[in-house]
């Protein structure tokens, strides 16, 4: 059975419990204090020492008039309704949060790049780095189409989300999914999650959030030979807004082509040099 994540960003509240749970469980070193000024995001990005990262995007305030009986509860729920006096409330509109993580690609660029075979697919079909094999060549780093896998300079090796391999082996769900208070992070069988995602997107569409869609399918986000991602997301804005590529590609798809082109070039160069020997 392939396991994976479904991160439903529409119910994320930006609490960063996942970031903390991941650091705690996996005993990842701290990144220090940095104030970025980028909304509430001082983590910035995924790295070798950050395997979950919550993105914060503040949306512009909608034109709204608050008169009459305002149902404040509606603000907190996913309600999209017209209120008395023409007031509009949009429960999902004010903030965009996303808890980012390794995509656990079906065809993983990092795994194909790795010359030592340190990166494997484990029995849960997750992309896993064997820390005792990696020699820190760093080739997987620019290969990853999502900028996930990163070298830790102090250690020399690369690290990323293991999908809590150890917890899964003990029958537990990954630390981030366990800690998530709104169930924005769901963990489970990839096929089941696919269905959950489709139903949730249909519900959102029915409620008037027509821009909701699934990221990480072979149509969007898991494109170009990647064949989809085992960790998918439900998004409400352009992928780039969350720092995700819309149509990434598998870089190794062209290795054979590059080899053939080089062989042709080698032949031509050989012929040209050989011709220079003529009297």
Single out the residue of 144, 163, 175, 204 in contact with another protein (rule: CB under 8 A): 144
Residue 119 is a binding residue for ligand SF4 (CB under 6 A): yes
Listed as own residue / partner, the contacts of 163-170 with beta carbons closer than 8 Å and 24 or more positions apart are 163/3, 163/4, 163/5, 163/102, 163/104, 163/124, 163/126, 163/128, 163/231, 164/25, 164/26, 165/122, 165/124, 165/126, 165/128, 167/25, 168/3, 168/124, 168/126
Residue 72 is a binding residue for another protein (CB under 8 A): no
Residue 244 is a binding residue for ligand SF4 (CB under 6 A): no
The interface partner of residue 122, options being another protein, ligand SF4, none and the CB cut-off 5 to 8 Å by kind, is none
Residue 129 is a binding residue for ligand SF4 (CB under 6 A): yes
d(CA 140, CA 108) in angstroms, rounded, equals 10
Q: Which residues contact 19 (CB under 8 A, 6 or more apart)?
A: 43, 50, 52, 53, 54, 99, 176
**For ligand SF4, which is the closer residue by CB, 93 or 138?**
138
**For ligand SF4, which is the closer residue by CB, 89 or 151?**
151
The first and second tokens of residue 15, run together, are 């609490």
* Segment lying near ligand SF4 (by CB under 6 A), choices 142-150, 165-173, 194-202, 259-267: 142-150
CA distances from 74 to 69, 70, 82 (A): 12, 9, 11
The interface partner of residue 224, options being another protein, ligand SF4, none and the CB cut-off 5 to 8 Å by kind, is another protein
Single out the residue of 140, 163, 177, 204 in contact with ligand SF4 (rule: CB under 6 A): 140
d(CA 223, CA 218) in angstroms, rounded, equals 5
The first and second tokens of residue 6, run together, are 């479904």
Answer for the pair 207, 199: CB distance below 8 angstroms, yes or no.
no
Residue 108 is a binding residue for another protein (CB under 8 A): no
Q: Which of residues 88-117 bind ligand SF4 (CB under 6 A)?
A: 102-105, 108-110, 113-114, 116
The label of the residue with tokens 């080698």 reads 266
Q: Which of residues 179-238 bind another protein (CB under 8 A)?
A: 224-225
Give me the least distance between CB of 46 and ligand SF4, in Å please.
Answer: 9
Residue 248 is a binding residue for another protein (CB under 8 A): yes
Give me the residues that bind ligand SF4 (CB under 6 A), please: 102-105, 108-110, 113-114, 116, 118-119, 127, 129, 134-140, 144, 146, 148-149, 158, 160
């Amino acid at each position: 059975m392939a396991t994976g994540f479904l991160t439903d960003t529409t119910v994320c509240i930006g609490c960063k419990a996942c970031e903390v749970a991941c650091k705690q469980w996996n005993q990842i070193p701290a990144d220090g204090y940095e104030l970025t000024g980028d909304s509430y995001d001082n983590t910035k990005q995924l790295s070798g020492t950050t395997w979950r990262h919550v993105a914060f995007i503040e949306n512009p305030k909608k034109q709204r008039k608050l008169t009459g009986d305002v149902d404040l509860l509606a603000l907190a729920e996913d309600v999209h309704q017209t209120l008395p006096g023409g007031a509009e409330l949009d429960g999902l509109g004010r903030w965009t949060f996303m808890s980012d993580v390794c995509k656990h690609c079906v065809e993983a660029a990092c795994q194909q790049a790795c010359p030592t075979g340190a990166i494997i697919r484990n029995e849960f079909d997750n992309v896993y780095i064997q820390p005792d094999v990696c020699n820190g060549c760093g080739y997987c780093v620019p290969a990853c189409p999502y900028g996930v896998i990163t070298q830790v300079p102090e250690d020399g090796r690369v690290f990323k989300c293991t999908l809590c391999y150890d917890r899964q082996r003990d029958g537990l769900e990954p630390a981030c999914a366990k800690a998530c208070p709104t169930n924005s992070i769901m963990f489970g069988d990839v096929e089941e999650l696919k269905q959950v995602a489709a139903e949730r997107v249909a519900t959102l569409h029915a409620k008037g959030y027509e821009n909701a869609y699934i990221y990480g399918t072979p149509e969007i986000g898991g494109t170009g030979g990647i064949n989809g991602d085992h960790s998918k997301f439900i998004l409400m804005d352009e992928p780039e807004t969350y720092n995700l590529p819309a149509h990434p590609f598998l870089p190794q798809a062209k290795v054979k082509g590059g080899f053939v082109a080089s062989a042709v070039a080698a032949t031509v160069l050989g012929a040209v040099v050989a011709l220079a020997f003529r009297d």
